[in-house]
Chain A
Amino acid sequence: MNCLQAEEHFSAHLEDTLDYQTLQGFEEHIAECEACQHEYARFQESVKAVQELPQIEPSPYFMSTLQQRLATEQRQPRGVKEIAVTGWRRLLDTLRRPKWAFSGMVALILAAAGTYFYQEGPLFNRDSHQVSVAPTSQRQQIVPLPEMFPSAQQPRRLVGDNSQLQQRSVRSTPAQPMHQRYMLKQVSYTNVSTSGGL
């Protein structure tokens, strides 16, 4: 056994897990190599010093903080993203069934038409040159909804913003196409799950 090989066995010798043959070879080398005797002594001392480091104790608030965090986790068992995904899946599954496909389509068309006419009123009753400021700025706010909002309560706040914005008007902004308005208005009465893909 040479010095490098002996070094490989320092831990095993210290913890008394060497097999008989290796133990013999190790102890023979150590007995005749002063350098290894010295290094092994330092090895033992340094392991001992590490093992004697004091234990770090938790603060008195550890348990109460953890309980608060757990309570919050329990109140919000699923992330909005997850809800959005499962919501979409459920909708698609329903539409895939032939029995529901037709009525589903009809419902969607009716919803779209309803949205369109719902919005026609306030927008077009005004001066024909004044149109909502909404087209691009609001669209940017609404599209990333599922990622942006951690809970389903927040879209309601957005609806408030919507109506405020819609009351403001700007001269000679071209009227936005129907699908944009549909998208904006849809947020006001559908949940997060369906607004995700619109």
Chain B
Amino acid sequence: MPELDDELMERYQKGDENAFTLLVRRHQQPLINFIARFINDKDSAEDLAQETFIRIFKAANRYKSEGAHFKTWMYHIASNLCKNELRNRGRRDRYRVDNVVNTGSDSDGDTEQVDLIASAPANSDFQPEVALERKELRNAIQKAIAELPEQYRLPLVLRDLQGLSYDEISEVLELRSGTTKSRINRARLMLKEKLKPFI
């Protein structure tokens, strides 16, 4: 409901601190999911999500509800922060993070994997073997996403994990609609190839 976001921003601009808290509550979960999936690092995702909200909070006076849409504005800020974060990380550091989050190993010590599974929807007829397969598939998917070049990964995550429309993604990434569409199709084709052993 974009109208509510605009109203909350307006209220916040007029000094209603509670309006900002409500905005954060509405968007914190999708924002953290987006960042964690995009940069493949759950621990840094919270920090970057907070940084995104701080930027929004600082630029609140410049927010014009008639022009910008809160959601695309938020993803635009977050995308830029993530790109900077990835750029600032050394090659070695990134490799380390990839290993921590993505390896297909099923060691119990890997809390990241456990967390990702824990946030999955509950399954009434639980079968350990099926769960393990599903877990392997999820790890493989996250790894495959992480391996995509940034310019394909970003629109794919916005589309298939955040559920944004093509128009919204074009707004977030400041791309022409045709470019957005072809990048998402290309990203999906690349994923299909990477997931060949599983699907």
A residues touching B (Cβ–Cβ < 8 Å)?
A: 7-12, 39, 42-43, 45-47, 49-51, 53-59, 62-63, 65-67, 69-70, 73
Among A9, A42, A43, A57, contact of B119 (Cβ-Cβ < 8 Å): A57
Is B16 among interface residues, defined by CB-CB distance under 8 A? no
Find out whether the CB atom of A63 lies under 8 angstroms from the CB atom of B32.
no
- Contacts A51-B161, A63-B25, A70-B57 supplied; 19 other A-B pairs, CB < 8 Å: A8-B185, A42-B192, A42-B199, A46-B199, A49-B137, A50-B145, A50-B161, A53-B37, A53-B138, A55-B29, A55-B30, A55-B119, A56-B45, A57-B29, A58-B32, A63-B28, A65-B46, A69-B50, A73-B54
Which B residue's beta carbon lies closest to that of A50? B160
Given A8-B182, A69-B54, A47 and B119 contact (CB-CB distance below 8 Å):
no
B71 interface contact, C-beta 8 A: no
CB-based closest 8 A-B pairs: A54-B120, A11-B185, A46-B192, A56-B33, A56-B36, A54-B119, A50-B160, A66-B50
> Looking across the interface, which residue of chain A has its beta carbon closest to that of B47?
A65
- Chain B: CB-nearest residue to A49: B141
Given A58-B46, A63-B28, CB of A51 within 8 Å of CB of B160: yes
Cα-based distance from A126 to B46 in the complex (angstroms): 60
**Secondary structure of the A side of the interface?**
helix
How many chain B residues touch A (Cβ–Cβ < 8 Å)?
44
Answer whether residue B72 sits at the interface, using C-beta atoms and an 8 A cutoff: no
* B residues 104-131 touching A (CB-CB < 8 Å): 115-117, 119-121
Q: Does B188 contact A (CB under 8 A)?
A: yes
Contacting residues of chain B (140-199) with chain A, CB-CB under 8 angstroms: 141-142, 145, 156, 160-161, 181-182, 184-185, 188-189, 191-192, 195-196, 199
Which one of B37, B58, B145, B192 lies within 8 Å of A56 (CB-CB)?
B37
Q: Closest residue to A39 on the B side, CB-wise? A: B192
Query: Which residues in A have their C-beta under 8 angstroms from that of B68?
Result: none
* A59 to B50 alpha-carbon distance, docked (Å): 12
Q: Is B42 in contact with A56, judged by CB distance below 8 angstroms? A: yes
Chain B contacts for A53, CB-based, 8 A: 37, 138, 141-142, 161
Q: CB within 8 A of A10: which of B42, B57, B185?
A: B185
Q: Is the CB of A62 within 8 A of B181?
A: no
B53 at the interface (CB under 8 A from A): yes
Mark interface residues in B19-55 (1 if CB within 8 Å of A CB, else 0). Answer: 0010011001110110011000010011001100110
Interface centre among A7, A55, A65 (most CB of B within 10 A): A55
**With a CB–CB cut-off of 8 A, which chain B residues contact A55?**
29-30, 33, 119
Q: A10-B185, A63-B28 are in contact. Are A43 and B58 (CB under 8 A)?
A: no
Complex Cα distance A53/B192, Å? 15
Q: Is the CB of A10 within 8 A of B189?
A: yes
A46 to B161, Cβ gap below 8 A?
no
Q: Which residue of A lies closest to B58 (CB)?
A: A73
Are A66 and B121 closer than 8 Å at their CB atoms?
no
Q: Are B191 and A46 in contact (CB under 8 A)?
A: yes
14 A-B interface contacts by CB (under 8 A): A43-B192, A45-B199, A46-B199, A47-B191, A49-B141, A53-B138, A54-B121, A54-B138, A55-B30, A56-B42, A59-B46, A63-B21, A65-B50, A73-B54
